[in-house]
Structure 1
């Protein structure tokens, strides 16, 4: 089968390890399903893998990709949930299984013509969603859904800040938070991305680090070191910062004095459950909400998409058709 793989690790030049070519077809195993993929979406996780984060050299070559949608052996249109874990080991939540992994960390991922996954990892694709739209949901949109509707503990009509408009998680948060009736502020260094954030439903978008017109109930931060101080200072007393990543580095000042004095909550989020993915897909089908897609490329041109993400050129998801 044709696939996009990581064949070497280089933290400074991650794309040097990217290879397009033939790989062995996945072999069926008990309790697992084979899926003919129709579309797959790119994530920052794929770039981190090429840098060696979560993917040691002894597991190479590894097919990349966490997001995908396709058709199973019985002809069902499905979305692939990318968390490989045991819900029982995580108290009913597979993302809390200490031995969990994401596709492309231990098992081959979705940037391929075929994939094998545990059968429980397949979620029915609503007919209202295209394969390209459905392929955007399992990582960035699922993480955003978990952050917004589970972790943040918000009431309708709350005010929120989304750091780093332009990324997949940030774009999903803007769309869903606006749909839920929250007042959404967004930040970006790019004026063009700030304008796009407003088009997606943000109440206002400001340059990164600029003071907001009001303190917010919750901040969603996937940037890390570069935005952490601004995130903490943007919260009203009792507010929550929900973090799902640290693309700019993970060693900011903790601001503990402000955290305890203002009684702030700091909450981590990693992906979401299979049941949350099913609920997210249904929400999109019923409301008409759709992922923002930056571009769609054939899988053979995957390197072009990787280069765009590495340069920070995209707004929304980069999708590959298989």
Structure 2
């Protein structure tokens, strides 16, 4: 089968280990279902896999990709939930200590077909294209959980989204503005700040800028580069909701500010199958759609990886199969 896979890993030159070509189809575990992939989407997770983060070297070669939409063997149009919980696990999949994501232990979604547990399939509504649906299982599901499950601030509150432009950030802006939040955003790029306004942000600021007032919640997926600003931007009693650290995992703690102002630091990871179903329903009900930066044929996957590696992205990069 055709696939995009990690052949080798390099922290300095991750894309050197990327291969696009024929890959032996895997033998599926018992109880898994096949999906013939129509579209897959690129995430930072895929770049990190090529850097040796989250993907063990002894698992190589590994098909990349956490996100897929396609058709199962019964002819159903489906979206693949990429969080693979351990056999017999019940409840919130993100709390399973033995969970994994597609492409960590099992071959991922950037291939002609992907095999997943039957419980990981969610019906794709006709209102969403395969390309739009493929954007949802990682970035958009992460944003949905951050905003509607973890975030303590109700609609009508003022929130700040750091690093507007990436998949999670654009999803947060779109979802939050549709849900009635007052959305502010930051970016180093004037073009990305302008785009954030088009997505529904009320105001957009340069990275690190002093805000007109403090906010109820900051959503931070950037980490080291924005962390101090995130804490300084909060009202007393406010919260930072963090899902990642694309700029570095070790931000300054600034604990004095945290305890004197009674701030909350709330972690959020991916989302559950039930949340993915609700996200799909939300998009159908509101008309909100994922922001797609570009759609490329699977054979040109390297171009998409380089685009993400260079930070030249607004929204999601999607591969058409």
Structure 1 and Structure 2 fold alike (TM over 0.5): yes
- The Cα shift of 1:221 comes to 0.2
- What residue number does 1:261 align with? 260
- Per-residue CA deviation, residues 168-203 of structure 1 (Å, 9 max, x unaligned), is 000000000101111111000000000000000001
How many pairs does the alignment contain? 321
Structure 1 runs of 4+ aligned residues shifted over 2 Å read 26-30, 86-89
Distance of aligned partners of 1:252 and 1:29 in 2 relative to their CA distance in 1, 3 Å threshold: closer
Task: Find the aligned partners of 1:155 and 1:61 in 2 and give their Cα distance.
Answer: 45
SS in 1 for 2:293: strand
Task: Find the aligned partners of 1:284 and 1:30 in 2 and give their Cα distance.
Answer: 33
- The Cα shift of 1:29 comes to 3.3
- The Cα shift of 1:75 comes to 0.4
- What residue number does 1:50 align with? 50
SS in 2 for 1:185: strand
Q: Does 1:38 align with 2:44?
A: no
Q: Does 1:142 align with 2:154?
A: no
- What residue number does 1:285 align with? 284
Q: Does 1:225 align with 2:224?
A: yes
Q: How does 1:1-322 map to 2 (within 5 A)?
A: 1-86=1-86, 89=89, 92-322=91-321
Aligned residues of 1:87 and 1:94 also touching (Cα < 8 A): no
- Per-residue CA deviation, residues 98-153 of structure 1 (Å, 9 max, x unaligned), is 01110010001000000000010000001100000000000000000000000012
Task: Find the aligned partners of 1:295 and 1:87 in 2 and give their Cα distance.
Answer: 36
Aligned residues of 1:88 and 1:94 also touching (Cα < 8 A): no
- Per-residue CA deviation, residues 16-71 of structure 1 (Å, 9 max, x unaligned), is 00001111223343221000000000000000000000012100000000001000
SS in 2 for 1:148: helix
Task: Find the aligned partners of 1:110 and 1:28 in 2 and give their Cα distance.
Answer: 14
- The Cα shift of 1:259 comes to 0.6
SS in 1 for 2:98: coil
- The Cα shift of 1:88 comes to 6.2
Q: Normalised by the size of structure 1, how large is the TM-score?
A: 0.98
Q: Structure 1: any 5+ residue segments left out of the alignment?
A: none
- Per-residue CA deviation, residues 65-91 of structure 1 (Å, 9 max, x unaligned), is 0001000010000000000014964x6
SS in 2 for 1:24: coil
SS in 1 for 2:204: strand
Task: Find the aligned partners of 2:62 and 2:219 in 1 and give their Cα distance.
Answer: 31
SS in 2 for 1:314: coil
Q: Normalised by the size of structure 2, how large is the TM-score?
A: 0.98
Aligned residues of 1:185 and 1:203 also touching (Cα < 8 A): yes
SS in 2 for 1:147: helix
Distance of aligned partners of 1:154 and 1:86 in 2 relative to their CA distance in 1, 3 Å threshold: farther
SS in 1 for 2:259: helix
